[in-house]
Amino acid sequence: MTSRGKFITLEGGEGAGKSTLLAGLRQHLLAQGVDLVLTREPGGTPLGEAVRAIVLDPAQRGMCAESELLLMFASRAQLVRECIAPALAAGQWVLCDRFTDASYAYQGGGRGVPEERIATLEQWSVGELRPDLTLLLDLPVATGRARAAGRGEADRIEVEADAFFERVRAAYRARAAAEPSRFRVIDASLTPAGVLAAAIDATRHLFGAAA
Ligand code: T5A
């Protein structure tokens, strides 16, 4: 019988270095012989990528918090069924750039949507699926925004005020503190090599005693 694969998620504020880490971690896991699926949220499926285009579109400035949350979960419900659950069942590992913690941080912490409402949607669209490991790249808001600013035009969420991103950061840190066995908080102000080394260290237990 095939054993279930491992599910790793990357989280953090804007410009924290998730994409940079994803590339390095991918290389490392492949070198370990892991059969790996990379994906992202919002996105990862044709439906999810269409949702992503809508939620990040600066022209959608009138989007209310409830619509934003439901769109994130529409993308997630599709991704879980079309990609994540089948891959894990087939023994593949899944490395996902953001997952449900982002909804608690951005729509919960950032926009003020009550946590219980997010938990209801999580139960409905994700069921019992939780990451085996969540790497939280933690960085002062100003540093992350300065990094992200180097990439050109800001998307609909990136134009929010610093106070919004401070609430997002606080919500992420609170989640990590509440679930220390799932989260590893990484100091994202380290060099890219330092961040990768910390992430690799955090994945060791997923390989069992042999790694
Ligand atoms: N969202 C998402 C919600 O509101 N709710 C949800 O439920 C979900 C799933 C998605 C947006 O949607 C929101 C959150 C987001 O606003 P995204 O694609 O995840 O967006 O994009 P961002 O968070 O905007 O990700 P970024 O691309 O901004 O940041 P990354 O990937 O964290 O950062 P990265 O690797 O691109 O690096 C940014 C810059 O910094 C440099 C890189 O070279 C690059 O120039 N850099 C470093 N510099 C110094 N030291 C390091 N260690 C560095 N690492 C990277």
78-137: pLDDT as tens digits: 999 999 999 999 999 999 999 999 999 999 999 999 999 999 999 999 999 999 999 999
The finding on whether 39 has its CB within 6 A of some atom of ligand 1 is no
What's the pLDDT score for residue 150? 80
Q: How far is CA 161 from CA 69, 142, 164, 189, 209, in A?
A: 19, 11, 5, 21, 46
The finding on whether 69 has its CB within 6 A of some atom of ligand 1 is no
The finding on whether 18 has its CB within 6 A of some atom of ligand 1 is yes
Instruction: Give the whole-angstrom CA distance, residue 156 versus residue 163.
Output: 16
List, edge to edge, every strand of the sheet that includes 36-40: 36-40, 93-97, 7-12, 133-138, 183-187
- Centre of ligand 1 to C-alpha 11, Å, is 9
Name which of 170, 168, 66 is nearest 121 in CA terms. 66
The finding on whether 96 has its CB within 6 A of some atom of ligand 1 is no
**Given CA atoms 6, 71, 119, 15 in this order, what sign does their dihedral have?**
positive
| Best of 98, 125, 156, 158 for a ligand 1 pocket test (most atoms within 8 Å of beta carbon) | 98
**Given CA atoms 178, 43, 45, 27 in this order, what sign does their dihedral have?**
negative
The finding on whether 43 has its CB within 6 A of some atom of ligand 1 is no
Q: Whose CA is nearest to atom 50 of ligand 1?
A: 191
What's the pLDDT score for residue 166? 98
- Centre of ligand 1 to C-alpha 144, Å, is 8
pTM value is 0.96
Strands 36-40 and 93-97: parallel
Is pLDDT of 140 > 90?
Answer: yes
CA triplet 180, 178, 130: central angle to 5 degrees? 70
Band (209; pLDDT cuts 50, 70, 90): very low
Q: Name the CA radius of gyration of the chain, rounded.
A: 16
Is pLDDT of 210 > 60?
Answer: no
The top-level CATH class assigned to 7-205 is alpha beta
- Centre of ligand 1 to C-alpha 116, Å, is 27
The finding on whether 191 has its CB within 6 A of some atom of ligand 1 is yes
Instruction: Give the whole-angstrom CA distance, residue 197 versus residue 42.
Output: 27
Give me the percent of the chain exceeding a pLDDT of 90.
94
Cβ atoms of residues 7 and 93 within 8 Å:
yes
